[in-house]
Structure 1
Amino acid sequence: MDTGPVHAGFDALDSASERAVAISERNIGKTHTGRQRRALAVFSKLIVHNMAMILLTKKFFDDEERGLLDHFSLASLARSSLDAALMTMYISEPSLNLTRWDFRRQLLFLHDTNNRSRFLKPLRKDGVEFGFFENADAVRDGIRSKLGKLGAELLYSQEKIADYQRGFHIFVDGVRGAVREAGWDVDEFEFNQSYLSAYVHSHPVSFIRLDEHQVTFEGASQFQVDFCHYLLEMTAGYLASVADRMDAFSLPGEGDPNGHLE
């Protein structure tokens, strides 16, 4: 089996990752706005996902005849990388004025509060207490109030504001809107996100055709080679786009056009 395509994909992701790491490292110890810090945090998460992909692929290169080309894990990591790439672009969008960023920020705060409440409640029923619940309702109400005020300033309808205040939205205009804002192809992103989610959740697409694809745990089938080549090249492309954004946005004192927001 010719594993050359996997090596080509590896080189693309490795090169893109080196540049991303350099951008991230130059910001260590510098003073940034809150928005820059959040973007840099997700950017770091993105880099680590890709580093894990690189390490898994390197492991296969150690013994391509009998080693495992773990396309399952690579696909799951690629999906996580894809999501981190989009969130970094969403937070760092340079066209946002202060009001639009604050609204976007409050929406993230509300989703965080609601989600924490959702996954902690089952443990609370078992008698485990969390300090989070001491003021969770007050925090949630405060965020909703801010969304109402900011939404009115942005001329959103009361119906739309009420929908945002429910806390189910992460992206102001949905995933497709965030992808479009990032300048990426919406259909391509949607294909990648939908297809790779099957590997994250172990849905049938990720395993139902193992015989047809001749999936092996020693060496690699043609499907595994082609699939991993695609995964590595695809994530490298998104990472390069995010690195271009963060190269400028992360600059202390000038990258965030709105300055620090308390």
Structure 2
Amino acid sequence: MDDPKNARRSDSLDLAYNAALTKLDVATCEAMAVSQAIDVENSELHLGFSVQIFKKLCSHSVALICAVPRSRWVKSEFENWDFACAAGQSRAIIEGFLLFLYLSQTPSCNAEWTAKLLVLYVNDCTRRAKMMANVKAVDAAEDWMRQAEELKDRLKLNPWFLNLDGKTQKRCLAGDHLMISSRDEILELAGWEKAEFYAIWDLLSQYAHVLPMSFTRMEPDGRGSGAANEADADYLTATIAWCADTLHAATNRMTAGFPSTETVRQGLDSKFEPGPKENRP
């Protein structure tokens, strides 16, 4: 005989997952509609640039909602309850939001905004150079390093950057970091509790990178198999709800910067494309 307690637990989890999925659906619909309604012409530089990051958040959210079970965004003959289907996209949304928050902050002056961009591009050029060197594309690697050095020279003349402490300047000039601010500083800006963030971040990383936690507890017809099970459903419910809240916060920030886009936020009735048939303009 089935245990009534287990049945109640299953029903409760089922309701929680469905609610989280609807929450993600609403957040994705509104974010997509807002992203397509934004007119960056004559916008402040930091807002216009941040739109690019916001659009990437939208793309990852679409990929996420297309991957999780019971989504109306896709037609499928089965439900895949393996948490791995959501880990990579969820990690990208959370990571991307921190960068979005950092770049969309109103700078104190033009020199600060320029310094932020230069540090970002130094990191980009440095990474591209390493990638080209790894595939033996020597000329391309040297060209990217030349560009990185030119950007560093500009940074060394930036008055706002020169007022930073020496350790921060050295870290930025090394090209290993995307942001001038540390991740912990951006977490504080986001209002995310540090220990909770790193716990979730580590969990997502385990499944995104196929580390031991993702496979040592697998069970036949259960955890990690793709079959419906409480462990994966728990992880999926909590993660997609957090991603929905994160995307919602990013959308709020965009509509604050571009007030005319507020009217396109119509929940599940928001209009955009590509997307589900009922959401097309």
TM-score, with structure 1 as normaliser: 0.82
Letter in 2 for 1:23: V
State how far apart, in whole Å, the 1-side matches of 2:250 and 2:76 are: 32
State how far apart, in whole Å, the 1-side matches of 2:229 and 2:115 are: 48
Q: Judge conservation of contact 1:10–1:233 (CA < 8 Å) in 2.
A: yes
Aligned CA distance change for structure 1 residues 200 and 147 (closer, same or farther; 3 Å) = same
Alignment of 1:21-100 (within 5 A): 21-27=32-38, 30-59=41-70, 67-100=79-112
Letter in 2 for 1:83: E
Where structure 2 has 5 or more consecutive residues not aligned to the other structure, the ranges are 1-9, 261-281
Where structure 1 has 5 or more consecutive residues not aligned to the other structure, the ranges are 253-262
Q: Is residue 177 from structure 1 mapped to residue 185 from structure 2 by the alignment? A: yes
Residues 103-126 of structure 1: CA deviation (Å, up to 9, x unaligned): 1111101000110011111212xx
Letter in 1 for 2:94: L
User: Where does residue 11 of structure 1 map in the other structure?
Assistant: 22
**Match for residue 113 of structure 2 among 101, 116, 122:** 101
In the alignment of these two chains, the number of paired residues is 248
User: Where does residue 234 of structure 1 map in the other structure?
Assistant: 242
User: Identity rate of aligned residues, in percent?
Assistant: 20
Deviates more, 1:20-29 or 1:204-213: 204-213
Residues 23-47 of structure 1: CA deviation (Å, up to 9, x unaligned): 2111157454543333111111111
State how far apart, in whole Å, the 1-side matches of 2:31 and 2:128 are: 31
CA RMSD of aligned residues (A): 2.9
User: Where does residue 258 of structure 1 map in the other structure?
Assistant: none
Letter in 1 for 2:229: S
Q: Judge conservation of contact 2:83–2:207 (CA < 8 Å) in 1.
A: no
Residues 40-95 of structure 1: CA deviation (Å, up to 9, x unaligned): 11111111111122122355679999532242121221111111111111110125
Letter in 1 for 2:195: D
Q: Judge conservation of contact 2:60–2:93 (CA < 8 Å) in 1.
A: yes
User: Where does residue 149 of structure 1 map in the other structure?
Assistant: 157
* Deviation (angstroms), 1:159: 4.6
Deviates more, 1:35-44 or 1:214-223: 214-223
Q: Judge conservation of contact 2:155–2:161 (CA < 8 Å) in 1.
A: no
**Match for residue 203 of structure 2 among 195, 208, 213:** 195
Q: Which has the higher contact order (CA 8 A, sep 6+)?
A: 1
Q: Judge conservation of contact 2:214–2:224 (CA < 8 Å) in 1.
A: no
* Deviation (angstroms), 1:249: 2.6
TM-score, with structure 2 as normaliser: 0.77
State how far apart, in whole Å, the 1-side matches of 2:239 and 2:213 are: 16
Letter in 2 for 1:27: I
**Match for residue 221 of structure 1 among 229, 233, 245:** 229
- SS state of the match for residue 68, structure 2? helix
State how far apart, in whole Å, the 2-side matches of 1:96 and 1:209 are: 50
State how far apart, in whole Å, the 2-side matches of 1:137 and 1:219 are: 48
